[in-house]
Amino acid sequence: MQQIINFIIRNKNFLLYVLLFTISFAFTVQSHLYHHSKFFNSANWLTGNIFQTQSNISSYFSLNEQNQKLQEENQRLRFLLFNKKEKDTVPLDSSYNKYTVIASQIIKNSFSLPKNYITIDKGRNDGIKPDMGVITANGILGIIENISPNFATVQSILNTNSRINAKIKNTNHFGSLVWDTKDYNTVQLTDIQRLVPINIGDTIVTGASSSIFPENIPIGIIKNFDLNNTQNSYHIDVALFNDMTNVKHIYVLENHHREEIQQLESTTKND
Amino acid sequence: MTSNSYLINTTRFILLILVQVLVFNRLNFFGYINPMVYILFLYWYPLTQNRSLFIFISFLLGLMVDIFSDTMAIHAASTVTLAYLRPTIMRFCFGVNFELQNFKLTNTNRAQRITCLALMIVIHHFVFFNLEIFSYENVLLILKKVSSISLATLIMSLLLGSLFSVKKE
């Protein structure tokens, strides 16, 4: 017993090092396996407020540019609104609406790591829940992962854990959107069968089998493609519409039917 | 440690974290180069006998940077490794003098200090990028990131070091 205690005292630095390293290593490996990093994320009170302060100051420098972007988006939406075919009936009851849109701003962006997370300035108090979709005026951005009362983190599409259902516009051929960490302007679309006719310049949009994003949200255009190793499906490079390095104003989407869809899918799976 | 030294180290701890997460994490030079200057804390920390405390503080430092940058505990793991290896590195660079009571960083020559800092940076970055990328298919990518970002960190650290160094009498 004496010897054991002596051994511990003699090697206490080494043991402390091993203990701390194991703790951090365990958290890191866990984050590689599951996509929920519950313990350490920047959606907490301290980091959220620091990033918020910083963002409040630095947002003045790009105010002109961001206003320009918002006005362009307004212009496009007004064009759609004024050229819309009039329907006979307009439902007034808001419970018919399928999606709720919550506007928010980015307070921390990141695109140089293999697993990028974005922090936004809305949280549980504003009605944000995990697994809601996040888009910008130009295209998709990611999915809400962790929330706190006033802040939330978004798993960017530039994250090796991200898998988003996407399809080629005007067809129903869908695959998953992943990222190979090489270039922050390019993501990869996999699992498109080799029989599907595709061309460089085709538009990629979100697919219908996702309960997070509405169908037909733009993602990007096909930059180049080739067949994968097994020669039965394509590996497609998609150039994003979004400039991931320069985003500020975003929209969080809530699908009111998501719970119903998930419930239905889980009961179907169990049968 | 005197009370003055406590104050200096606490201020340094907070300022280095803020500088790291608010300035250097957003540099994205060439799209991926973000120098990690917060390890200067480990280089400047006084050479005390209480190594356990030093290892623990380094762990906290890494963890804080992790929480800010959403990287789980990769910074913590690499910083704690560096903290454990620091005496070995310093003994390698400064020789037997390092063991003496009145040893000070300012008494050594510039080449020794730069070697020591460079070694610390390379070891830290090596652990960091191995954990971050975490696959041996990407050995070349790991080596590319370790070499380029180490160089950037070294340059930035030397600049910061000369900016805040204590003037020699």
Q: Which residue of A has its CA nearest to B82?
A: A17
Chain A / chain B CB contacts < 8 angstroms: 95
Q: What pLDDT, on the 0 to 100 scale, is given for residue B100?
A: 67
Whether A172 and A234 map to the same domain: the answer is yes
Whether A58 and A17 map to the same domain: the answer is no
Average pLDDT on A180-191 reads 85
Per residue, what are the HEC states of chain A?
CHHHHHHHHHCHHHHHHHHHHHHHHHHHHHHHHCCCCCCCCCCCHHHHHHHHHHHHHHHHHHHHHHHHHHHHHHHHHHHHHHCCCCCCCCCCCHHHCCEEEEEEEEEECCCCCCEEEEEECCCHHHCCCCCCEEECCCCEEEEEEEECCCCEEEEEEEECCCCEEEEECCCCCEEEEECCCCCCCEEEEEEEECCCCCCCCCEEEECCCCCCCCCCCEEEEEEEEEECCCCCEEEEEEEECCCCCCCCEEEEEEECCHHHHHHHHHHHHHC
| Residue B169 pLDDT exceeds 60 | no
Q: How many domains does chain B have?
A: 1
Q: What pLDDT, on the 0 to 100 scale, is given for residue B168?
A: 47
% of chain A with per-residue pLDDT over 90: 1
3-state SS class at B30: coil
The Cα B125–Cα B37 span in angstroms is 11
**Mutual angle of helices B3-22 and B51-69, in 10-degree steps:** 30
| Residue A47 pLDDT exceeds 60 | yes
Confidence of residue A114 (pLDDT cuts 50, 70, 90): confident
Whether A43 and A120 map to the same domain: the answer is yes
The Cα A245–Cα A182 span in angstroms is 15
A110 contact B CB<8A: yes
Q: How many domains does chain A have?
A: 2
Q: Which tokens go with A93?
A: 């009851």
What are the pLDDT digits (tens) for B15-24? 989 888 888 8
Q: Which residue of B has its CA nearest to A112?
A: B32
Whether A11 and A56 map to the same domain: the answer is no
What are the pLDDT digits (tens) for A224-245? 888 877 778 888 888 988 888 8
Range of the domain at B8: 3-164
The Cα A45–Cα A125 span in angstroms is 13
| Residue A1 pLDDT exceeds 60 | yes
Within a domain: residue A271?
no
Give the sign of the dihedral formed by CA B159, CA B160, CA B164, CA B169: negative
Average pLDDT on B7-36 reads 86
How many residues are present in chain A? 271
Within a domain: residue A44?
yes
Whether A72 and A143 map to the same domain: the answer is yes
Within a domain: residue A263?
no
What are the pLDDT digits (tens) for A76-110? 888 888 887 776 666 666 667 788 888 998 988 88
CATH code for position A209: 2.40.10.340
Q: Which residue of A has its CA nearest to B26?
A: A110
Q: What pLDDT, on the 0 to 100 scale, is given for residue B121?
A: 92
Whether A23 and A139 map to the same domain: the answer is no
The residue type found at B68 is: F
Q: Which of B70, B85, B129, B134 to mutate to test the interface with A (most CBs of A within 10 A)?
A: B70
Distance to chain A for B122, nearest Cα, Å = 18
Confidence of residue B166 (pLDDT cuts 50, 70, 90): low
| Residue A37 pLDDT exceeds 60 | no
Range of the domain at A9: 2-33
The Cα B69–Cα B72 span in angstroms is 8
